[in-house]
Amino acid sequence: PAKSGPVLPRDLLPERLIRVLEAVPAGAGGTLELIARAAAGSIDETVGNLYELLALGYVERGGENWKLTRQA
């Protein structure tokens, strides 16, 4: 079904980035391994996507964990 309502910036992300963004746990976030498993991707693919999401302002890194920003 077609989406209705306003288009948000995250709606314009490629599917691969949306999949990883949706795999990042809310709150304290999660490790690279946890996110890769939830996104059904490889570690290498997931870390590349996370750094792209970091550059776009959707996630941030704190130690070993990646977490969502308010923008996400």
Q: Each residue of 1-43: pLDDT tens digit?
A: 676 777 788 888 999 999 999 999 999 999 999 999 999 999 9
CATH number, domain containing residue 44: 1.10.10.10
- 54-72: pLDDT as tens digits: 999 999 999 999 999 988 7
Q: Which domain holds residue 50?
A: 12-68
List the one residue out of 15, 55, 53, 14 whose CA is nearest residue 32.
53
For residue 25, being part of any structural domain is answered with yes
| Domain count of the fold of the chain | 1
**57 CB-side CA count, 13 A:** 4
Rounded-to-integer distance, Cα 31 and Cα 67, Å: 9
Q: Is the pTM of this model over 0.95?
A: no
For residue 6, being part of any structural domain is answered with no
